[in-house]
A and B are shown apart, each in its own frame.
Chain A
Amino acid sequence: GLILLFYLVFYGFLAALFTFTMWVMLQTLSSDIPKYRDRIASPGLMISPKPDTALEFYFNKSDSQSYAEYVSTLRQFLETYDDSKQAQNIDCTPGKVFDQNEEAVKKACRFNISELGQCSGKEDKTFGYSRGTPCVLVKMNRIIGLKPEGEPYIQCSPKEEGAVQINYFPHGGLIDLMYFPYYGKSLHAHYLQPLVAVQLAINSNSTKEEITIECKILGSPNLKNEDDRDKFLGRIAFKVQMTE
């Protein structure tokens, strides 16, 4: 009896102490930006759609079922970029970092979905999959306060040379500086990160082959893309195999 009471009190005390110290610790944190960002100094790259099976696209261009999932993922992903959702976003000055440190409410720059051209899903509802020119969206991970230097752009290249022609939307795979910096979820609620669509036109003699495509972010000295250990830091590799 006494033992139970003792442990009840003892663990009650420890739980309260734990809660209290955690509360104190959380009080020291800002709700806007994390205290340290040194563990993510440079952003990673990621693509959409993201297949379950480790970044490998397998589809048959004549079988709509085989790519239905990719298409619906893309559609879903682009929903947040829909014009109707961007009503409050402003048009920013292209090519310039959009500093708004002084403003209490941070504004988000409009990302016009039409910039994605054939990969916007407006003209081709299957994002090119049905025609053998699949679209993959490349995005750069959001990092608070990150201001890329230079003129960053995405460049992709197939490992197997000449297996595929690549088109970039916007042109040249440019990532506009006006989308930076990011001010964090709570301050920058409507922020949309810039996208680069990569359209792969697979050569007819390379169908049925597995093509590895590596995309990198280039043109910016402060965005790393060749880390030994982190294969996704400023770069991404994925495989595509298309059948007919």
Chain B
Amino acid sequence: IQDDHKLSTEELEEKYGTSISKGLSSARAAEILARDGPNSLTPPKATPEIVKFLKQMVGGFSILLWIGAAFSWISFGIQFAQGAESPFDNLYLGVVLALVVILTGIFAYYQEAKSTNIMASFSKMIPQQAVVIRDAEKKELSADHLVVGDIVEIKGGDRIPADIRLIFTQGCKVDNSSLTGESEPQSRSCDFTHENPLETRNIAFYSTTCVEGTATGIVINTGDRTIIGRIASLASGVGNEKTPIAIEIEHFVYLVAGVAISIGVLFFIISVSMRYKFLDSIIFLIGIIVANVPEGLLATVTVSLSLTAKRMAKKNCLVKNLEAVETLGSTSIICSDKTGTLTQNRMTVAHLWFDDQIYSADTSEDQTTQPFDQTSKTWAALSKIVTLCNRAEFRPGQESLPIMKRVVAGDASETALLKFAEVVLGDVMDIRARNKKVAEIPFNSTNKFQLSIHETDDPNDQRFLLVMKGAPERILERCSTIMINGKEEPLDSEKAEAFQTAYMELGGMGERVLGFCHLYLPENEFPDTYSFDTDSMNFPTSNLCFVGLLSMIDPPRSTVPDAVSKCRSAGIKVIMVTGDHPITAKAIAKSVGIISATSETVEDMAKRLNLPVERVDRRQATAAVVNGMELKDMSLEQLDEILCNHSEIVFARTSPQQKLIIVEGCQRQGAVVAVTGDGVNDSPALKKADIGIAMGIAGSDAAKNAADMVLLDDNFASIVTGVEEGRLIFDNLKKTIAYTLTKNIAELCPFLIYIIASIPMPIGTITILFIDLGTDIIPSVALAYEKAESDIMNRRPRNKKKDRLVNEQLAVYSYLHIGIMQSVGAFVTYFTVYAEQGFLPSTLLGVRVNWESNAINDFEDSYGQEWTKYQRMYLQWTGYTAFFVSITIQQVADLIIRKTRRNSIFQQETCNLSFWFSCRNKVIWVGIFSQIGIALILTYGLGHVTALNFTPLRFQYWFVAVPFAILIWVYDEVRKLFIRRYPGSWWDKNMYY
């Protein structure tokens, strides 16, 4: 910790070897720059592209396939050395396997790179300029080149280019929200006001902004050594958690790899003990691995996720990390910022009080009129004060924009009043022009009021009008009368009481209240030639007439209450974390439903029951508003208790650092936590969270870097649509995986039966790859377009530990039910093809050795005909093709049944008889047609390319498996029917995946 804030100017000059008037010399600056490096934050270390690429090459199933390829090459080597006749088959197989791995790896890498590229556009920062005194001259240079000891000048609107010890200020205010979360601008001076460098007024911090005024200071820290730099480097220390979907996919890969390896090894042992040649056994092993591994699945998952990511981007959720798409769906707690996310991030007039009555104003985003009663003369007077006693102005050239969207020069409250007046009264600038301003005292913190004197637009009235606004209690002090229904009445204690009640009520709603008063200056004392002097105040500032109150708030976005209630029904807890005042925070939380209408905090209960806070049963309070100060003194257990016991929590006055503690607390409860943030020092929390959501408009680059997702419109409601998409993709991935896994059994069974029964090989390894990477790809992606089966926003978030992506039921149902049915169907086709060509099933058993012998060219079939080796091989390929076609046909049925997990597909399609072609997921049809189309092309188009082992197939063989396809469909309908009919039954437990 530095003590620069305690040093005097002279001591600073000495310490940094600089001069306040002349600055550093260029040579000296260059030296320091060489020593300290540029004044910029070191970006987080990016993984080298080649490492990312290699990771894709060995991730998932790749290892298994590499092993398969290695085995292929080894057996090629052995066969080649032995001089066998066709050793090249294995070489090719190895090459094909390697190609599959490399291509899917490249694909995954490309997908990832594509989504990273979207983000790259964010990190392009406009180089910042800074005004520096060097060599006794004012220079403008890039902020990167600032060094310790430089003298910099700052003015309103600038971003502070480094940590700066101020030596000269004039009305300087800074917005420290990116550092502390405090949204109120704070004034800066040259005085040492606090021991803590973070609290003292004479230091301005890197990346904060100067809101108004000017200042000059000495740079005391640059780059990573600035306070922000230190926090940012803290963020890179927070490890990135594995996303839930990554864990699920890993789990799935282990499961499938486990099945593949154990079946492979088991059958390796069986084949060795059945006296197969060692080399043959190895080739079987490769076949089993290839059949078991869903080669195309991981690519499909990537595509599905990126499709969802695209859909989410359209809804303003830009996903940086594809896997985060699903994380959002499993989110159980959202820690949301208030300002800008839940609220509109602009002050808006919410209530008015005049004529002893409170009126509500419209606070929606696109107001064009105000509905409250505007007939009273008091309102006419009040509106005049609001219009005239206001320094804010619209920037020119925005006449075509809606009033609410126009840019205003002025502070937040004045902007609110200006827009309010413009909506209600029309052209404010014209009214101001007609009521010429003759004198003005701007707002300052000692007076706490703002005053101006105007000529009136009434030609018959030569009086000047004095208008004043400010803190209500201060304004009231200066008043002796109050206007009621346009008439001035003396301000008696009763009226003062009414004022107090209204003020308390508005303040209690978390609103910023302003009081308004006026005075018509008597014409005889103040003729129109009178010269007003604002320094000597040669005009009255007391005994004014009180007109009314206006209260302002940053109102909630209109979509937020609905979004919060959606979260609630979706079982997601929304926690508000804000730097704002507890009262404001609570008011907003109530208005958006984070604290529901009926629930109470401990304090509310105490007030209602008239008990001291300590004596209230904390457990009965569902809501809690926790102050940052309390949080600071809390132990982890106490925090856990709060998070556990209260369903509605607001954290107010919290620093961004405390956000990290809150996130960790939620994660200790086993929750999947989404966190929103915009400031630089939100980045540790964003990183720590399961899904960090940065704000696209208000967010800093550091926050965007640390986040997994960027909310383009800063709107909380967009998170909820994201949640919906995330949940949907989880369901749909289940369907995709179930679809893909099913045919693995139909691919595996041929190998097992081939080994055990020694029949001619029913399906080739290459053919399997054509299913996995050919016919099945588009259908499995098509499932990603499936609509939700029921209202997915009405169920609780999935339990990370229990609701797995691939659960036992899914694997068992896919493998042992549908998969086996598919195998049976495919084997019927296989036996049909052989039988109709002369090999009855009984002849096929046990023939493997002779069948595959190159020396036997008079192999006798069931009818006494004799076959050469090549004729047999050709028949075998026809068998492959038939098997392939049968699997494809049955996969069509599989695709249709996978559309739903619980509903009948007729329910899903809502179009019963017009089921064909007019249904909701049209992409499914694309899937089915592509599947059959690819199969047709492979069979008839490439049927003459020997290496691919496809042969043109008799047309009727396409239909052998159709009854089995229909059976699959009927069986699944029955399954779904029983699940719907008997929820919770044995059937439901075992058959619902």
Contact = CB atoms under 8 A, between A and B. Distances in A.
Contact of B864 (A6, A26, A50, A182): A182
Contact of A39 (B817, B828, B871, B990): B871
Given A39-B878, A46-B857, A184-B863, A233 B868 contact: yes
Nearest to B857: A232
Interface in A29-71: 29, 32-37, 39-40, 43-46, 50, 52, 54-55
A52 B875 CA distance: 24
B835 A44 contact: no
A195 to B, nearest CB: 13
Contacts of B954: 36
A43 B866 contact: yes
A34 B836 contact: yes
Contact of A55 (B837, B841, B855, B963): B855
A2 interface: yes
A64 B14 CA distance: 116
B857 A236 contact: yes
A45 B986 CA distance: 63
Contacts of B967: 17
Contacts of A45: 857
Interface stretch (A84-92, A139-147, A161-169, A215-223): A139-147
Contacts of B990: 3, 6
B868 A232 contact: yes
A43 B878 CA distance: 19
Interface in A132-164: 139, 141-144
A18 B68 CA distance: 33
Nearest to A26: B835
Given A3-B990, A22-B831, A25-B831, A232 B817 contact: no
B821 interface: yes
Interface string B462-475: 00000000000000
Contacts of B820: 11, 14
Contacts of A17: 824, 967
B261 interface: no
A125 interface: no
A22 B840 CA distance: 10
A102 interface: no
A127 to B, nearest CB: 20
Residue from the set A14, A18, A39, A55 with the largest chain B CB neighbour count within 10 Å: A39
B857 A44 contact: yes
B870 interface: yes
B838 A25 contact: no
Interface in B976-993: 986, 990
Interface string A189-203: 001000000000000
Contacts of A103: none
A139 B858 contact: yes
B867 interface: yes
Nearest to A146: B865
A227 B857 CA distance: 15
A232 B870 CA distance: 8
B854 interface: yes
Given A232-B870, A233-B868, A39 B858 contact: no
Residue from the set A40, A142, A143 with the largest chain B CB neighbour count within 10 Å: A40
Interface in B819-846: 820-821, 824, 827-828, 831-832, 835-838, 840-841
B812 to A, nearest CB: 10
Contact of B866 (A46, A55, A191): A46
B946 interface: yes
By secondary structure, the B interface counts as helix
B874 interface: yes
A22 to B, nearest CB: 6
Contact of A144 (B841, B865, B874): B865
Contact of B836 (A2, A36, A229, A231): A36
A17 B866 CA distance: 32
B858 to A, nearest CB: 4
Contacts of B869: 230, 232
A54 B855 contact: yes
A40 B855 contact: no
A141 B867 contact: yes
B664 interface: no
B248 interface: no
Query: How many interface residues does chain A have, given as a range?
Result: 35 or more
Contact of A54 (B835, B840, B854, B862): B854
A39 B870 contact: no
A125 B878 CA distance: 45
A54 B83 CA distance: 13
A3 B824 CA distance: 21
Contact of B963 (A21, A43, A50): A21
Residue from the set B817, B837, B841 with the largest chain A CB neighbour count within 10 Å: B837
Nearest to B827: A18
A208 interface: no
Interface in B836-892: 836-838, 840-841, 854-855, 857-858, 860-871, 874-875, 878
Contacts of A2: 986
A24 to B, nearest CB: 10
A131 interface: no
A184 to B, nearest CB: 5
B836 A185 contact: no
Contacts of B857: 44-46, 141, 232, 236
Given A3-B990, A18-B827, A44-B857, A36 B868 contact: no
B855 A52 contact: yes
B439 to A, nearest CB: 92
Contacts of A52: 855
B828 A143 contact: no
Given A14-B821, A22-B828, A37-B865, A229 B946 contact: yes
A180 to B, nearest CB: 13
Nearest to A33: B863
A9 B642 CA distance: 54
A29 B836 contact: yes
B870 A34 contact: no
A18 B753 CA distance: 15
B864 A35 contact: no
Contacts of B862: 34, 185
A185 B860 CA distance: 10
Contact of B835 (A29, A143, A186): A29
A34 B834 CA distance: 10
Contacts of A29: 835-836, 840
A10 B817 contact: yes
Contacts of B828: 18, 21-22, 25
A35 B861 CA distance: 13
Given A14-B824, A22-B841, A34-B861, A233 B870 contact: yes
Contacts of B831: 22, 25
Nearest to A2: B986
Residue from the set B827, B838, B963 with the largest chain A CB neighbour count within 10 Å: B838
A143 B866 contact: yes
A110 B820 CA distance: 52
B865 A143 contact: yes
Nearest to A25: B832
A156 B878 CA distance: 33
B837 A18 contact: no
Contacts of B870: 227, 229-233
Contacts of B878: 39
Contacts of B824: 14, 17-18
15 contacts: A11-B820, A14-B821, A29-B840, A36-B836, A36-B837, A37-B838, A44-B868, A44-B871, A139-B858, A144-B864, A182-B865, A184-B863, A186-B863, A227-B870, A229-B870
Q: Across chains A and B, which 10 residue pairs bring their CB atoms closest together, nearest first?
A: A185-B864, A44-B868, A141-B866, A34-B838, A230-B870, A46-B858, A35-B836, A232-B857, A232-B868, A184-B863
Given A43-B866, A230-B871, 15 more contacts: A3-B990, A7-B816, A11-B820, A22-B828, A29-B840, A32-B863, A34-B862, A39-B878, A40-B838, A44-B857, A54-B855, A142-B865, A143-B865, A144-B864, A232-B857
